[in-house]
Structure 1
């Protein structure tokens, strides 16, 4: 592998815990292999933030590990608000992302050299 690793921005859209586990696993794996990683919760995935403690293993532990490593960049403010998940999202301590009409801008990540993957 080259000295400079490819950065990845993983956008999680789906509310299904099993899908979000794969986002976290891939983010952790990429990070372990030296790639810069940012995970963004978008759309229905923002509702998972208020449910994390009640979800089955291994999701809470994976989320904590990814958070502790600084991989979770934030959540979509517009989607969390629209879906009634804003309070839980705010309680998570993650940053609200709203630089594109209330939503996180994919262009911002692309301009910083990130390869964007939507889940």
Structure 2
């Protein structure tokens, strides 16, 4: 099975919707995708649970499918969404100076794609 780590740095909701769609599509086609929120993308965390947010239904599908690996601890702290990530029970990733490192994913044979 091909493993793909989707590192999302972009904080635009439209970009993130495409990440979610691609993760679901990859899983449906037999891949093992993992979504990692980094950089400005962590600003979207509060939007994932807002009623009426276009992100909410796709986010819920990805969570239920186990596709979300976690959120950058340093960036969510810096950008003010750490509490929102914790409230949602998201894994805080910090193995590389407070950020999620790509090396660990490469060590587990993940191809890395950045958004």
Q: Same fold (TM over 0.5)?
A: yes
- Counting matched residue pairs gives 114
RMSD, aligned α-carbons: 1.0
Deviations 1:38-60 (A, max 9, x none): 10000111111112233632x21
TM-score (norm 1): 0.91
Runs in 1 of length 4+ with deviation above 6 angstroms? none
Q: What is aligned with 1:33? A: 29
Aligned with residue 10 of structure 2, among 8, 14, 17: 14
Deviations 1:49-83 (A, max 9, x none): 112233632x2100000000000000000000011
Could you tell me whether the CA contact under 8 Å between 1:47 and 1:88 is conserved in 2? no
Give 1:1-119 correspondences, 5 Å limit: 5-54=1-50, 56-57=53-54, 59-119=55-115
Unaligned runs of 5+ in 2: none
| TM-fit CA distance, 1:30 | 0.3
TM-score (norm 2): 0.95
SS in 1 for 2:89: coil
Could you tell me whether the CA contact under 8 Å between 1:47 and 1:89 is conserved in 2? no
